[in-house]
Structure 1
Amino acid sequence: MKKALLALTLLAGAAASPFALAQSAYPTKPIRWVVPYPAGGGSDFMARTAAAQMAIELGQNILVDNKPGGNGAIAVQDILRGGPDGYAVMNADNGHMVFNPVLYKSLTYKVSDLTPVSLIGRVPMMLITTPGSEFKSAKEVLAKAKANPGKYSVASAGSGSPHHLALELLKQTAGLHLVHIPYRGAAPSLADVAGGQVPLAISDFAAAAGFIKGGKVTPLAVFTAKRVPQLPDVPTFAELGLKDMEAYALVGLVAPTGTPADVIAKLQQATAKAMHNPTVSKKFVDFGVEPVGSTTAEYTSLLQSETTRWHKLIRDLKIQLD
């Protein structure tokens, strides 16, 4: 009888262990959301906008902490130090989750260290030019570039960025020789296109939206399956006869691998609710981002398919950044 009572006591104690209770009650304290870029950029905007609504859904404050540098390695190491308990997460883009492992030989983190939670948003890539330039349409760009190999330069936000790889995809698919001019970020590349120093650029819609509204740059074509609703007159590359020409900056929420499944589920549910909130959704759309809020399975599957597609392109073109 005493043994039975002891066994029941031990079972009850295990069921009510602090760890088990902490996970079922998650979150019981503020969450830290690490952003691998400086404050003020698109990634920072998405994190802060989503986090403000997710804090309401989860009933705890979410503190956004910017940790730029090291191709995302500084941010990754920061959240891994906190352990897989769901109280340190980060937003990662396809640079961190897809491109970097094949672009860099000496990357100091592994994608397997991170577990996808939810895709937050997609930012479409687009081809832009200077207003009044010789290019009146994307069709003209394709024709003139084809007839004059190496004559035209195209700016991007930097080597290895989604912008750069979208350019490489365009060059490979259309059989073009365009000269890549990498910048340190989207803003300076846009400024030089607006000023006429570079005739063309691949930009993301979030960065270019203000320039487009102000008439400083002209969008010629988008790397999307369908036309961007905010730019109904701008064609897709598919409409110009170039298939499989989709390219986005994909920004999602990730957590350290080993984070309990119920915690991942709570974070995913809060993300999805936040991204489907009308106020949050409008802020994203106004900023030039397509709000998503996917399931964990959808985000994981997307990363797998993107890895297959882009790794092949990077290896075929022998792009290496270290």
Structure 2
Amino acid sequence: MKKAKKVLAMALVLTMTLSLVACGSNPAASTSVASSDPAVFSAPVEESTYPNDTISFIIPYAAGDGLDTSTRALLENAEFPVNTLVENISGGSGTIGLQDAFGREADGYTVAILSNGPTIAQPLLNDTLTYTLEDWEVLTFTTAPVLAVLGCSASKGIENSDDMKAFLESGEPFTVGVPSMSGFGYVAAASMFNQMGIMDKVTWVSYDGAPALYQAYLSGEIDFATFDDNFAAQYANSGNSVTVGVVMNDIRSQYFPDVAAAGEWGVEGLGANIGFKAAAVKKGTPADVCEYLTKKINAAVVTEGYQKWCEDNYFGVLTEEDIYTGEEAMEMLIQLRETNRTVLTAAGLLG
């Protein structure tokens, strides 16, 4: 079975299992801003019905976030006959950028890069948003899925999973930094803490994206931080200080094989909580335009250049066999939303 599909198929099974389980603050550190130096990837313009103008890729987080870096690498390996523009529009846990993208015409000249928080969790938590998951036409996934891990500050003296478990069971209060209050890292951590009965011991601190969170982690502002496992591995292998105490999933991370998964501690239902990155357009975009964009993006995903970038930067490589159709991707995201609904309810965030 295809590698990425095996991981995500596991999520479907675990979603069904989780649905049978009884469900049991600081402000954001950054405000909404648009990048003042967007990246433009130039190409000669050809006469055609579509495309005949610049295609904008909306990243709902600040420059340097995983969505941002992977999208820029993808576009550097894409072959569009027009210019492509990366716009970083951050704030609102990713919702500001997606609402901006959703407010534009459904003409194929705006492509939104979706991820867990602003696409799945936030519409569950915030009924004032102008969009839901069904309002997007998902084209394809742009990277392989990732897992959430809990990084430990050096001040806590935690060196391994046993130390991590002992601390969490000690009853001592602690702070946890997250890149957003609705991303899959937060959902995984909240579910784990809830099942361990220690939600009342945690103080959440939200930052505007992974780079800001990492700097706060290094400076000792917080006791723990939720990271994508691939980013934590990248930090660690570049010589920076990162200690991972637990993988917040049912399985261990390929990047931290010696670190225990929360499932090994008896924490259930985290297997379906997988991070994704997907390209999408507003519902109502012409079918031939969607087909064109999907073909171009998928072609870029499997280029040697992009695959090497993914490997070098700790993003799982997608092959042609790993690629989902838009329908398959949307079905998976609907299942992931139900997992998030159950987890957020268990964490006391939904009624």
Q: TM-score, normalised by structure 1?
A: 0.79
Which letter does structure 2 place at the counterpart of 1:302? M
Q: Partner residue of 1:295? A: 325
2:165 corresponds to 1:142: yes
User: Do the aligned residues in 2 keep the contact of 1:205 with 1:289 (CA within 8 Å)?
Assistant: no
- The CA RMSD measured in Å over matched residues stands at 2.8
Please, which moves more after superposition, 166-175 or 208-217? 208-217
Alpha-carbon spacing, 1:29–1:150, altered in 2? closer, same or farther (3 Å): same
1:251 CA displacement:
1.6
1:276 CA displacement:
1.9
Alpha-carbon spacing, 1:151–1:92, altered in 2? closer, same or farther (3 Å): same
Alignment partner of 2:280 out of 233, 251, 254 = 254
2 CA distance for matches of 1:318 and 1:42? 28
1 CA distance for matches of 2:67 and 2:257? 25
Q: Partner residue of 1:216? A: 241
- Match of 2:203, SS state, is strand
Alpha-carbon spacing, 1:71–1:142, altered in 2? closer, same or farther (3 Å): closer
2 CA distance for matches of 1:108 and 1:159? 19
Alpha-carbon spacing, 1:127–1:64, altered in 2? closer, same or farther (3 Å): same
Q: Partner residue of 1:103? A: 125
Q: Percent identity?
A: 23
Could you list the structure 1 runs, at least 4 aligned residues long, displaced by more than 6 angstroms after superposition.
Answer: none
- Match of 1:238, SS state, is helix
1:117 CA displacement:
1.0
Please, which moves more after superposition, 163-172 or 34-43? 34-43
CA deviation digits over 1:18-76, x for unaligned, max 9?
xxxxxx9643443221222233322211221112222x1x4333222222334545434
Q: Partner residue of 1:7? A: none
1 CA distance for matches of 2:248 and 2:288? 36
- Match of 1:232, SS state, is coil
1:253 CA displacement:
0.6
Q: Which runs of 5+ in 2 are unaligned?
A: 1-47
Q: Partner residue of 1:166? A: 188
CA deviation digits over 1:77-129, x for unaligned, max 9?
44345422212111111112100112223223333332111121233211111
- Match of 2:309, SS state, is helix
Alignment partner of 1:69 out of 85, 88, 91 = 91
2:344 corresponds to 1:314: yes
1 CA distance for matches of 2:166 and 2:263? 16
Q: TM-score, normalised by structure 2?
A: 0.73
1 CA distance for matches of 2:99 and 2:158? 45
2 CA distance for matches of 1:132 and 1:317? 27
Q: Partner residue of 1:10? A: none
1:20-35 residue pairs with structure 2 within 5 A? 26-35=50-59
Of Structure 1 and Structure 2, the greater helix share is in: 1
Alignment partner of 2:74 out of 43, 50, 69 = 50
Alpha-carbon spacing, 1:132–1:180, altered in 2? closer, same or farther (3 Å): closer
CA deviation digits over 1:215-271, x for unaligned, max 9?
412122323565433333334333444343243432211101011223222222222
1 CA distance for matches of 2:128 and 2:114? 19
2:241 corresponds to 1:203: no
Q: Partner residue of 1:117? A: 139
2 CA distance for matches of 1:149 and 1:225? 23
Q: Partner residue of 1:267? A: 293
1 CA distance for matches of 2:175 and 2:309? 34
1:222-241 residue pairs with structure 2 within 5 A? 222-224=247-249, 226-241=251-266
Alignment partner of 2:149 out of 126, 129, 141 = 126
1 CA distance for matches of 2:92 and 2:153? 33
User: Do the aligned residues in 2 keep the contact of 1:193 with 1:200 (CA within 8 Å)?
Assistant: yes
- Match of 2:87, SS state, is strand
Alpha-carbon spacing, 1:233–1:299, altered in 2? closer, same or farther (3 Å): same
User: Do the aligned residues in 2 keep the contact of 1:52 with 1:62 (CA within 8 Å)?
Assistant: no
1:192 CA displacement:
4.1
Aligned length: 294
